[in-house]
Amino acid sequence: MDQEDLIQKALKNGTEEEEGLIWDTYIIEDSVVQVPREGDEWRIDRVTAIYRILNDEVPLPEIKQVEKQSEAKGVAFERIKGELLREVNDQSSNISEDDDQRKFYLSAIEKTGRALALIHNSGTEIQGYGYFKSEKDSVVAPHDTWRDYIGEKLENLEDIPERFEGAYQTALENFKMERVPENPELSLLHDDYHSGNILVKDDGSVYVIDFDNAIIGDPDFGYINSKYEMCDHDDEEALERFRKGYESVRELDISDEKRDNYVALAILDSIGAGKWLVENRDVDFIDEYSEEVNNWANDYF
């Protein structure tokens, strides 16, 4: 297939796989094509910038085409044939630890932890913190300190939906801004690292997708946030395997105080995502999502 026609062919003849929150996804032969919704075309530049700064060892689909001209607006990726990690988790729940499916899931979780550490080894050349953007040949993050970025995030949590109020109050009571480091190690954080953004092939290898929410920030927060987004909160073995995979690449040294503070921040971050959904998208999973966030806050603190 002529690669320069991938996106146009997907729009005309591809199978529409998913109408996403930001991107619409199409499948055409061995390619996955993502087309941003109107007004989000700038994300095409952002995705390609992120791919440029990612560690070469990060397991991710290859970009096959980028197009912003005429009718073709989108990014074409290599198609990875497998299941989402959350589907693997669903199949392995409530079964014996010796079951092959459970072992397969735990192995994938460990590899997912390792992949996160490799992501955190990326982006170290960028100066600044936060949600960065591409400017010509450079990538720019707007905040001089990590604490400044976190402060801006929290300012956007005014007038949260009532359904998140319980989790919001609990998280605020347990979050202390003075415990957030001002200038931690610069790292690329996926910032949407959950089991719906990991593909698992039949051979057990994992691939990370959907990087367009990535930020530059503290890898300790990236680890804490991802750990609890990726694994069921009461699945101690999965949480431990995730940590083991991460520490195969990067050493972890997080105090209990910092961990608890970052869990509170992660909950607030999730509430911010829920607020955006309520204000911008009509989704049928918002009740389930808000229940999960409230349960997370109640169970942890």
Do 160 and 13 belong together in one domain?
no
Do 222 and 122 belong together in one domain?
yes
- For residue 29, name the pLDDT band (cuts at 50, 70, 90): confident
Do 134 and 280 belong together in one domain?
yes
Do 107 and 7 belong together in one domain?
no
Do 186 and 103 belong together in one domain?
yes
Do 9 and 102 belong together in one domain?
no
**pLDDT (tens digit per residue) in 227-253:** 999 998 889 999 999 999 999 999 999
**pLDDT (tens digit per residue) in 186-211:** 999 999 999 999 999 999 999 999 99
- For residue 180, name the pLDDT band (cuts at 50, 70, 90): very high
**pLDDT (tens digit per residue) in 100-117:** 899 999 999 999 999 999
In which domain, by residue range, is 200 found? 83-300
pLDDT at residue 1 greater than cutoff 60 = no
Q: What percent of the chain has pLDDT over 70?
A: 94
Supply the mean pLDDT for the chain. Answer: 91
The pTM score is 0.93
Do 148 and 196 belong together in one domain?
yes
pLDDT of residue 36: 92
Q: Fill in the DSSP letter of residue 73.
A: -
Long-range contacts of 50-56 (CB under 8 A, 24+ apart): 50/188, 50/211, 50/212, 50/214, 51/211, 52/139, 53/122, 53/123, 53/125, 53/126, 53/139, 53/188, 54/119, 54/122, 54/188, 54/211, 55/118, 55/119, 55/121, 55/122
pLDDT of residue 38: 86
Do 177 and 286 belong together in one domain?
yes
Do 127 and 256 belong together in one domain?
yes
Counting the structural domains of the chain, the total is 2
Do 161 and 227 belong together in one domain?
yes
Do 71 and 109 belong together in one domain?
no
